[in-house]
A and B are shown apart, each in its own frame.
Chain A
Amino acid sequence: MTTTFIRHELKAFWRSKNTGKSIAIRIMMGILILYLLLNVLFLGFFLNKLIEVIFPKQDIVVSFCGIILLYYLSDLFMRLQLQELPTLRVQPYLQLPVKRNSLIGYLAFTALLSVFNLWPFILFVPFVIKIIAPDSGAIATLAFIVSLAGLTVFNNYLALYIKRKSNLNGWVFLISATVIMLIGLGDFYLHLYSLRNISYLFFGHLISKPTLALLPVLLGALMYYLNFLYLKQNLYLEELGSRKAAKYKSSTEYPLLSRFGSVGDLAANEIKLVLRNKRSRSALIMGLFIMLYGLIFYTNSHYGEGWKIFVGMFMTGIFIINYGQFMFSWQASHFDGLLVNKITFTDFLKAKYLLFTIISTGFFLLTTPYVYFGWHILMVHFIMFLWNIGVNTTLVLFFANRNYKRIDLSKGAAFNWEGVSGNQWILSFPLLIAPYILYGPFALLHHADIGLALIAITALIFIFTRSFWIKQLEADFYTKRYKIAEGFRNK
């Protein structure tokens, strides 16, 4: 039975929409994943050197033993947010004559097939082999690897257990995340205890008493069993799914927007789209993180004037770039409805401009504290804000007319490649290059301010000729609308 499951699983992987779409994306994904793994491997390989640099006064084995537990704590925190529950896949087998135990065993086992379980080994095993093996012998090495495996399994199932519980009750997630953070705070801010000492207490003794390795193994086995039991008692669809317990969803209105008539209504709908769906919401939250770019670039005099253009553009326009690159795929699931209703495409486009203008204005206001680094920076931000709502919005919408990929809004953002096509790569070039075409030559001739002025003037021209661009985009859309609608219908 298990082999049948595995065969189905492989088919599901190869035939899934995300992997199967185009070879180019698959290659890009492969390269990216390989690159990440290589990075971690590199880090693992030179961990001993790194530790020497970070803790120069301590013996490296002591420091190494100290960080292992810290790693697992942050690993647990990461897993809670990113690791996915391998659950709904069993739905088609539940009503078939398949033994429950083999189903649950399979479910619990496949949970181990996660990239997260590779990381600790890639990171730590090179160190163990390089440093610990020559000093303390094969048995200690084995003990280390076995304890790493035990802790990995323990973390894996603990994270899944918490995630399953929090599906039924959202507080569980919040409380566990807080507890993990408090444990960290207790060490680093309050100095109540030292996690590194605790970690060393165990791993340091592991060298002299290898049998201690049984402890993490026991913990892992215990956690696995707990999961197995929990699944066995709760093998029902609603408890397996990744759906959160439903709250009362109230209707909202944005009175400010309703002044704009249909355009305002459409923009209001899109704001709701952004806020009420996981993936689009994370596009917005990402934007808030980008707000910190300034702290990196402006505090470091190493970065010259030219970087301000880049940083200003990203901070005020990240939402336009991040969310806009997937337009109109966000609305794929109801695009037919938009087409048959009494909505002109002009209004549809105006709503996009309105949405971008509102959110970019918000982001611009959030960047005003950077005035601390000088008024000039605020001016650059304002010019790039104009550039974003003038030029970049039009550019993004031009590419939106060429986007035929459906996006399922209900799925999360992490490692989600749905809706990605060559379009996004191509779009990034003009987005990044265009301002520098205007700015670059003058900057080289030491008249950067003229370059800035040119950017501002171009942006203003685009803003004042908006209705012209809307007409062009509309005409363009009518030649492509069937293809767009067709693509969005393809689940």
Chain B
Amino acid sequence: MIVINNLKKIYSGVTVVNVPHLEIKKGESVGLVGNNGAGKTTLFRMMLDLIRPESGEVLSNGEAVAGHENWKNYTASYLDEGFLIDYLTPEEYFYFIGGLHQQSTANVDDFLSGLADFFNGEILKKGKYIRDLSKGNQCKVGVASCLLQNPELLMLDEPFANIDPSTQFRLKSLLKDLNKNKGVTTLVSSHDLNHITDVCDRILLMEKGLIIKDIATGSSTLNELEAYFGVGQTVSAALKVDEEENH
């Protein structure tokens, strides 16, 4: 579904992303891990044609992402609050996104009622603009707007970072369901190694812009990742989850 060739991004002399070749097949669920500054968000942004790479290209269904718009029809993404129109109420935002995909408001309402558990009564009919919601609730709005688009490719940047434990578990089962039962290709980044190994079949580990590990998730994956991140410490103490990066 996605092919990346020779992708490079340089900021003031420092190479922040350098991916010679990467292929993500249809129906895969891929997790992206790495410390702050490893280049995860930059990679995401290049895949969404938000920043121009120094060299290389990203192909989505065989067509370059840059300069084309077809990928927008089947790609849904939420990287940060910058994706939300914050002076709208969540309802207005959902209707707007639904409208872009030719869905009527009744359709959208119907879809949203299916997410009642995920929202946990904190999003709809609260009489608040998106800017007045907490970061976690904004994240819920972003994720829900992605699901609303019935995507074939779903990209989420650190969706677990600000949401409460119950929502984390609900989000995990949502993602699994989308991938296993609906065949959606998912690409998720996270600092939570437990969640990411649970949700994803394939883990990409980034360090200083390079993908240094590309592993299929197995019983030993979590230990392997913990060993990597807990350099020079005992494994149990190493499991320290990073705070949300500030974008």
Interface residues of A (CB under 8 A from B): 246-253, 261-262, 265, 269, 272-273, 276-277, 333-337, 339-344, 409-410, 478, 482, 485-486, 489
Contact = CB atoms under 8 A, between A and B. Distances in A.
The 5 closest A-B pairs by CB, nearest first: A248-B127, A337-B83, A482-B52, A276-B87, A336-B82
Contact of A344 (B49, B69, B127): B69
25 contacts: A246-B128, A247-B127, A248-B127, A251-B91, A253-B95, A261-B99, A262-B100, A265-B96, A273-B87, A276-B129, A334-B82, A336-B45, A336-B50, A336-B79, A337-B82, A337-B85, A339-B50, A340-B77, A341-B97, A341-B100, A342-B72, A342-B73, A342-B101, A409-B87, A482-B50
A340 B99 contact: no
B137 interface: no
Nearest to A410: B131
The residue in A249, A253, A409 that gathers the most chain B C-beta atoms within 10 A of its C-beta is A249
Contacts of A261: 99
Contacts of A478: 67
Given A341-B97, A342-B69, A485-B51, 15 more contacts: A249-B132, A252-B92, A253-B95, A262-B99, A265-B96, A269-B96, A333-B82, A334-B82, A334-B85, A337-B83, A340-B48, A342-B72, A342-B100, A482-B51, A486-B51
Contacts of B87: 272-273, 276-277, 409
Interface string B115-131: 00000000000011101
Contacts, number: 83
Range of interface residues on chain B?
A: 35 or more
Given A246-B132, A342-B73, A336 B85 contact: no
Interface of B: 45, 48-52, 67, 69, 72-73, 75, 77, 79-80, 82-89, 91-92, 95-97, 99-101, 127-129, 131-132, 149
Contact of B72 (A246, A253, A262, A341): A341
Contacts of A262: 99-100
Nearest to A332: B82
B82 A249 contact: no
A251 B92 contact: yes
A133 to B, nearest CB: 55
A343 B100 contact: yes
The residue in B69, B80, B92, B97 that gathers the most chain A C-beta atoms within 10 A of its C-beta is B92
A340 B72 contact: yes
A340 B100 contact: no
Nearest to A246: B132
A246 B128 CA distance: 8
Given A249-B127, A249-B128, A340 B83 contact: yes
A30 B88 CA distance: 37
Contacts of B88: 269, 272
A405 to B, nearest CB: 16
Contacts of B96: 265, 269
A137 B52 CA distance: 74
Contacts of A340: 48-50, 72, 75, 77, 83
A335 B85 CA distance: 9
A472 to B, nearest CB: 18
